[in-house]
Each structure stands twice: as structure tokens, then as C-alpha cells.
Structure 1
Amino acid sequence: MGLNRSNIDQLKKGDIALVGFPFDAHSSFMTGPAKAPELIIDAIECDSANYFTESLIDLNEHPRIAWCGNAVLDDYFSIAKTTRQVLQQGAIPFSLGGDHSITYPILQSIHEHHGKVNILHFDAHTDLYDELDHNKFSHACPFARIMEEGLAKSLTQIGIRTLTQHTKEQAERFGVKMIQMKDWVPQTKLEIDGPVYISFDLDVLDQAFAPGLSHHEPGGFSTREVLDIIQRLKLDIIGLDLVEYNPDRDVNGMTAMVAAKITKELIDRIL
């Protein structure tokens, strides 16, 4: 019982490769997300739940899904190396963070393999700061690096509720399609042509539903609202990440279970 285990060099074309990136060195407020990947997998495999998605796909020992364990990281940019290895096997990388800074090196490898892709970004924050605390690789900056280097064709952000004058100007500079939380309506359609990379920051959720976050930002989505959005997606997904779960702030593993549920439903959108 459980998710299949695999080394990256054993992956096959079309596999969904869950890879942990235990990295939080670019967190600005508090560390903790480096502890998250294995706890998310533990929650997926927890006896209190089951392996079915809500559309009745059984992920238990599913032949296309593999947990590859935590990557061994020599430094920040070895994240790109690990992602490149997954892509070279023909697999779809699903990266479990870790803080949101991991998305930039991942997208460097995605761009090498797929060219410019579209990004769908769930978050309370734009992560478009040019730098934060004199750090251009902060978890507040990955999409500034991605867009200024031309790694993405488009960037669509939903759930934003922390806009500043600087990040507003950055969004305009990079042509970001932004749906702020205050403007969200359930009827909003997320239609994106071409290959899509999904980056899911758990703080898009209100902390009432996900307390295990470094940054508590009131006024976010409920778990059910996020699941409804995911389940309506009809996209050509070529890679994903789920980031910013902080076990140090969690309550009884509540956020781990939410992260596990979202991971399962995102996988469902690929199968």
C-alpha cells in the first residue's frame, strides 16, 4: 500500500515524479518549509484517509506516480539539476517544497526542455519583488527572475491579496494577468492555451484552513474553493510545484492533510 518509490533514473516517459526539495534558505520571515516534503507524502499515505481523488482515480501503487524522495541539494541551483534529470527521463516533475524560491531554478530547467511555457500561479503574494532584504533569490522574487529572463510565455496569478506599489509596477512591466482575491468570482474561467506549469503556494488559502504557513494573510480561499478551481482546470500541464507548507506552525497536521489533498487533486488533472 502506498505510492510507488523510484529513483529518478528509473522513471519512465509520462510518469509523474514527486520530488522533495527540502530548501528554505531564501525564506524571509521564518524557516520551516524545508521539513515539509516528507510530511506531505506521509499525509497522502496516512491511514486516516484513502488514495482516491474525488473523480475516483486510485493513486495507490498507481503505475504512473512515483515518490522519488528528497533531492540531495549541494546548493540552490542544484534544484535545476535534479529537475533536468526528471525531464530527461520524459517524466512530469511535481516538486514539493520547500520555500517558493525553488520555482526559479525549476523553471530554468523547464525552459531548457520545453521552451517558454505558461505559468498558473496560486498565491497570496505576487513574488515579483526585484529583491527583498538585498536577496534577489528570496522566496519573494522568483517570478521577477523568471519573467526578466524570458523563461515564461505568460504568467497568470490568482488569489493575490498583498499587492504593493512596487509589485504592481513589476506586474505591469512583465504583462502579468493578475486576479486579486478581492476580484475573484467563482465563475472566473482559467483558460490558457499551450503547455502550463502550475506553481501552488499554500498561502493562497486562508490560514483558517491552513495554519501551517510562514505568512498568515487573512482573506484567502477556503480549501473547498481551491479544490473546485483545480477540478475545473483543463490544461496541458507539464510540471507543478507545491510550496510553503511550514510544519513548525501547523496544528495537529491539519495543513499537511490539506497539502496532501491538493497534491492528489492536482495529480488527477494530469492522469
Structure 2
Amino acid sequence: MHPGLDACFVGVPLDTGTSNRSGTRLGPRQIRCESVLLRPYSAKGHDPYSCINVADVGDVSLNMYNLPDACKDIQQRYAQLIQDGCIPLTMGGDHTITYPILQAVKARYGPVGLVHVDAHNDVSDTMLGAKITHGTPFRRAVEEQLIEPHATVQIGLRGTSHAAEGHAWQISQGFRVVPVEECWYRSLAPLMEEVRCLMGNRPVYLSFDIDAIDPGFCPGTGTPEIGGLTPIQALEVVRGCAGLNLVGCDLVEANKVLMATNYDEKLFQVAPPYDFEGTTALTGANLLFEMLCSLPGVKAPQ
């Protein structure tokens, strides 16, 4: 579909699967807007654009009025994108989108290891009776053998739960769960050394929900939870994925809802009620660039 590309940025403007604040369908648009501040070289000196062929291939065309159909649209588009080995860097969208992406990834690579950074475990069997939502993607992924449970790490989990042992199911499947309390007041670089050892050479998918970061830093998300990671720790996690055999990454749940005001004066100013400074999308743009710098083929600076 896009011959010659080693990696691509792609938007999935879908928030039909969300359960609290809507608006993540605007995430790809806002991340692109904030990305204008990014420069070709990373702070560590990586120069990805001279190492690999990268392009933004636009947004997935999908049926936002029917979530199962939207998932089929996403799966089909990603099957085209990755058929020649292109690595997708996805701008979400709510976390539902990771499920059909992993379906496409499995068809190309088989079951993959998973690095999942999130405030929530997203392994519910159903939400309000629905099997496909932003809270169920990794339950479906285990059921369909899209991921390897014993090569799955969840980082930053926190928040209230519907059960006393809220992470019992995925632990029983073999997931490594790192609750946020194990992340407080410390560098996550040693944890990522463990993750690299666990993953070895197998293909790995990185899924980063922006609500893993504390809402004091990233308020523009659908399901904010207090006590989260810092942006510094987020960088440590993403940079710590360098050396893994990454076959895909996503940055989901960035929410930038806009409200038009001053119609009488025809100024058409906008006031985003969740993130008035745009820092959430800016953080997302930077993390996606760091994901690009962590891909195989991007050489470390000399």
C-alpha cells in the first residue's frame, strides 16, 4: 500500500468505545497540531529521518457510528499498512483501537509481546454488556491469542476498581503487573532493563495510554486518575523500548474537546475545557517522536 516505508504515523479518530469523556477522535488532529514544535533530532541526538523512511499516511477511514464495523475498518487498513513490514505509529483515538490493530499485527507476525502503559488494565470481559470497548481490548487479545501473556507487562496501573482484586485475571494469565505504587519516587530505567530481558528478540507492540501520566501533567484524557506517572517516567519507558523488536506502537486516549464561543462577535475562538494549554497533545506528540527514535533501524547517536 505504501511501498518503501519503514514506519508511518497514522491517525485513528475514534472515540465510540469510550465510557467517560468523549473527544479522543480529535486526538490525531491535535497531536499533529502540537507536533509543529518538534525538530528532526531528539534530545539524545537521534536522527530518525536519516535512518529510516517515514511518512504520515493520514487517518483511517472508519464507521464511527458502528464500533464493530469500525474495528473491521481498522484491522483491514492496518493489514495493508504492515504487509511489507512498515511499522505503524498510531495516534488515537480511544483504547478500543488497539484490539483491531493487534489482529492485523498477529496476521503478519504471530502473537506478540506487549508493553502496556496505562492507568487501567483494560481486561474487562464486558462494559455495560459490550464486548468491544476501550476497557476490553486486552481480554479480547488474550482470547484470540494476539499477545503472549507471559510476555506482557502492564505499567502504571492504579485507580479504583469494581473488585477487591482488580488485577487477578490478567495475573492469572501470566501478565507482569507493575502498579503505580512501584513506580513512585523512582526511575523506571531499571524496570525497562527487565522488560528488554523478558522480551528478547520476539516481536513487541507498545501501547501507551496518555492517562498513565498524572492528570496534573496531562489533563486532556477521557478517564483521568490521580497519582500517575510523570512525563520523565513516560520518557524513560518509551526510550527504554529501544532495542526491542518493535512492530507497532500507539498513543491513545488524548482528548482535546473544543467549545466554540463568542459567536456574536464572529471571533470563533476555541476554549478546550479539559486541557486549556494543549499540554496533553504536546506530550503525546513528543512521546510518538520518541517511539520513532526507539524503532529498529534508528541508530543510536555516536
1:124-163 pair list within 5 angstroms: 124-154=119-149, 155-162=152-159
AA aligned opposite 2:19: S
Distance 1:226 1:116, change over 3 A: same
1:18 to 9, 14, 23: 9
Please tell me whether the aligned partners of residues 38 and 70 of structure 1 are also in contact (alpha carbons under 8 angstroms).
Answer: no
1:57 to 46, 63, 74: 46
Distance 1:86 1:109, change over 3 A: same
Gaps of 5+ in 2: 64-68, 258-273
Please tell me whether the aligned partners of residues 11 and 17 of structure 1 are also in contact (alpha carbons under 8 angstroms).
Answer: no
Please tell me whether the aligned partners of residues 18 and 94 of structure 1 are also in contact (alpha carbons under 8 angstroms).
Answer: yes
State whether structure 2 residue 197 is matched by structure 1 residue 198: no
The Cα shift of 1:11 comes to 3.5
Gaps of 5+ in 1: 1-8
State whether structure 2 residue 53 is matched by structure 1 residue 69: no
Distance 2:49 2:174 in 1: 41
AA aligned opposite 1:215: T
Q: Look up the SS of the partner of 2:122 in the other structure.
A: coil
Distance 1:156 1:41 in 2: 29
Please tell me whether the aligned partners of residues 171 and 177 of structure 2 are also in contact (alpha carbons under 8 angstroms).
Answer: no
Give the aligned partner of residue 265 of structure 1: 290
Distance 2:280 2:100 in 1: 26
Give the aligned partner of residue 66 of structure 2: none
Distance 1:242 1:226 in 2: 12
Alignment deviations for residues 82-139 of structure 1 (CA, whole Å, 9 cap, x no partner):
1100011321111111000000011111001100110100000000110111111110
Q: Report the RMSD for the aligned CA atoms in angstroms.
A: 1.8
2:244 to 235, 248, 262: 235
1:255 to 280, 286, 297: 280
Larger mean Cα displacement after TM superposition, 249-258 or 50-59: 50-59
Give the aligned partner of residue 207 of structure 1: 215
1:36-185 pair list within 5 angstroms: 36-46=27-37, 49-58=38-47, 64-74=53-63, 75-76=69-70, 77-154=72-149, 155-162=152-159, 164=161, 165=163, 167-184=166-183, 185=186
Distance 1:224 1:64, change over 3 A: same
Distance 1:11 1:37 in 2: 23
AA aligned opposite 2:179: Q
AA aligned opposite 1:12: G
Distance 1:82 1:156 in 2: 27
AA aligned opposite 1:268: C
Please tell me whether the aligned partners of residues 158 and 181 of structure 1 are also in contact (alpha carbons under 8 angstroms).
Answer: yes
Ranges of 4+ aligned residues in structure 1 off by more than 4 Å: 59-63
AA aligned opposite 2:195: L
Please tell me whether the aligned partners of residues 214 and 226 of structure 2 are also in contact (alpha carbons under 8 angstroms).
Answer: yes
Please tell me whether the aligned partners of residues 12 and 90 of structure 1 are also in contact (alpha carbons under 8 angstroms).
Answer: no
Alignment deviations for residues 5-37 of structure 1 (CA, whole Å, 9 cap, x no partner):
xxxx23425x11111100110101121000111
State whether structure 2 residue 34 is matched by structure 1 residue 35: no
Please tell me whether the aligned partners of residues 7 and 52 of structure 2 are also in contact (alpha carbons under 8 angstroms).
Answer: no
Percent identity of the aligned residues? 31
Larger mean Cα displacement after TM superposition, 261-270 or 74-83: 74-83
Distance 1:167 1:78 in 2: 32
Distance 2:3 2:253 in 1: 26
Alignment deviations for residues 167-194 of structure 1 (CA, whole Å, 9 cap, x no partner):
4232133221111111234232322221
AA aligned opposite 1:88: Q
Distance 1:59 1:237 in 2: 15
Alignment TM-score, normalising by the size of structure 1: 0.90
AA aligned opposite 1:239: G
Distance 2:62 2:238 in 1: 30
Alignment deviations for residues 186-213 of structure 1 (CA, whole Å, 9 cap, x no partner):
2323222211100010001001111111
Distance 2:128 2:3 in 1: 39
Larger Rg: 2
